[in-house]
Structure 1
Amino acid sequence: MSDWNDPELAAMRDRLIATLRGYGKVAVAFSGGIDSTVVAQAAHLAIGADAIAVTAVSDSLAEGEREEAESLARQIGIRHRVIHTSEFEDPNYLRNNPDRCYFCKSELYGRLALIRAELGVDAVASGANLDDAGDHRPGMKAASENGVVHPLLDSELTKDDVRKLAKAWGLPTWDKPATPCLSSRIAYGEEVTPERTRMIDQAERWLRARGLRIVRVRYHKGDMARVEVPLDELPAIASAEVRTEMVRAFKDLGFKFVTLDLEGFRSGSNNLVIPSENLMKGLVVPASAPAAGR
């Protein structure tokens, strides 16, 4: 039986498509992650050639992510464009305070706003979903300032809803683990540099090459790697053979210390050091602002 025979799922699909159709011509900020992929798929179904997916490339993008985004865009059939962003030229971004993501998204959404006429679109759409409303998301402020719309939020879809839609559409990333930018692995207050993001990327690739699917290598002061994996994977990675190989490999990459986090993988664990009052300050997720010129 087709997944679309589920009336609740079909209603979510139709609501998302109708939401996107209501924006006019749309450029999707397309990382290739599960959320933006579902938005791109729905946008293509809603408005066809009037939709375009735009992937931003910089030193914060893990190796292979650009190629995966290009492959997904081809599968969906949506027009696709790659742009290069310059957040690494912004000292506010490099300083890596808890609002780092604001400066990253300001660069991305500001650049998309500047080329909207060239892209021929009325609105820029993000992949923010309903679950993001309760997380530390400085980028939402940048989105609001640049008139970005949030179709998943406007359609009241959660992360679980997004995965169900992706699976029903046959998108290969329906169960892909979250892949936030490499800069998010660097502890707040430690400078973001291309060298550090490359160290992190190569270390995570080393772990995935050994069959680990969900991993985080977090960079801390003194070139220390804090490795997070799911709790049930800890015994294997802590075995003498793997541990010895990992320490040697990570030190070859530039890490001086290699640690295993005994609490296991936690999405956004770097946010634990942010005072709670700062988590909420200015981070209320707005309703999608109408894009200028619509």
Structure 2
Amino acid sequence: MVHGEQTDDLLEDRPGRKAAQEAGARAPLAEAGLSKADVRALARKLGLSVAEAPPLACLATRFPVGAHITAEELARVQAAEDVLAGMGLSNYRARWHGDLVRIEVPPDDIFRLVEPDTRRYLVARLSALGFRYVTLDLAGYHAGPMVGAGRQGPEGSAGGAER
């Protein structure tokens, strides 16, 4: 079994790293000393369409670090992100907080999501997935894993209390 970790990933705390190690999965890209830029350059050289694809983080990053995650919870978060993708958004996260889903989008997309018809659509779709509360993070999109209180938002402002 192998996974796509590369050397840039080694600089961050990745929730899936420990699970991959425990499962005996190998990371051939990291073992070969390849960075994200190296992998993209190789993909370009080989003519692969994924060379310019946006990075896709493991769904486990949508959950609090150390949380026990079920397949059903992963499926609900994936379905929530499918709704966001279907709205034409390019950067987004659906963060899991039990019966609450916290949506993160870049600050420029926040106004789009609070437009009345769009807001009603989003609440209806995510509520249908079983989320009792649908929230929008005013600090905006944050790549990487969910972290503790006081994370810095995209503009350097402190994030909300529940992090």
Q: TM-score, normalised by structure 2?
A: 0.74
> Using a 3 Å threshold, how does the CA distance of structure 1 residues 196 and 165 change in structure 2: closer, same or farther?
same
Q: Larger Rg: 1 or 2?
A: 1
2:148 alignment partner, one of 265, 268, 273 = 273
1:256 alignment partner, one of 128, 132, 153 = 132
Q: Show structure 1 runs of 4+ deviating over 6 A.
A: none
> Using a 3 Å threshold, how does the CA distance of structure 1 residues 206 and 186 change in structure 2: closer, same or farther?
same
**2:81 maps to 1:218:** no
SS at match of 2:102: strand
Alignment of 1:22-37 (within 5 A): 29=2
Displacement after TM superposition at 1:264 (Å) = 1.9
> Using a 3 Å threshold, how does the CA distance of structure 1 residues 257 and 167 change in structure 2: closer, same or farther?
same
Displacement after TM superposition at 1:145 (Å) = 8.4
Contact 1:190 1:220 in 2 (8 A): no
SS at match of 1:174: helix
Contact 2:77 2:96 in 1 (8 A): yes
CA distance in 1, matches of 2:128, 2:23: 43
Displacement after TM superposition at 1:244 (Å) = 1.5
Q: Counting helix residues as a fraction of each chain, which structure ranks higher?
A: 1
**2:92 maps to 1:207:** no
Alignment of 1:134-283 (within 5 A): 134-137=11-14, 139-141=16-18, 142-143=20-21, 146=24, 148=26, 150-188=27-65, 191-221=68-98, 223-270=99-146, 272-273=147-148
CA distance in 2, matches of 1:237, 1:160: 33
CA displacement 1:17-62 (0-9 Å, x = unmatched): xxxxxxxxxxx62xxxxxxxxxxxxxxxxxxxxxxxxxxxxxxxxx
Q: TM-score, normalised by structure 1?
A: 0.44
Q: Which amino acid is 2:138 matched to?
A: L
Aligned residues: 148
CA distance in 1, matches of 2:16, 2:71: 21
Q: Which amino acid is 2:121 matched to?
A: E
* Structure 2 unaligned regions, length at least 5: 150-163
Q: Which amino acid is 2:64 matched to?
A: A
SS at match of 1:217: strand
> Using a 3 Å threshold, how does the CA distance of structure 1 residues 153 and 232 change in structure 2: closer, same or farther?
same
Contact 1:130 1:156 in 2 (8 A): yes
RMSD: 2.7
> Using a 3 Å threshold, how does the CA distance of structure 1 residues 236 and 164 change in structure 2: closer, same or farther?
farther
CA distance in 1, matches of 2:17, 2:93: 23
SS at match of 1:251: helix
SS at match of 2:51: coil
CA distance in 2, matches of 1:143, 1:189: 15
Contact 1:220 1:226 in 2 (8 A): yes
Displacement after TM superposition at 1:164 (Å) = 2.4
Displacement after TM superposition at 1:234 (Å) = 2.0
> Using a 3 Å threshold, how does the CA distance of structure 1 residues 160 and 217 change in structure 2: closer, same or farther?
same
Contact 2:15 2:61 in 1 (8 A): no
Higher RCO (CA 8 Å, separation ≥ 6 residues): 1
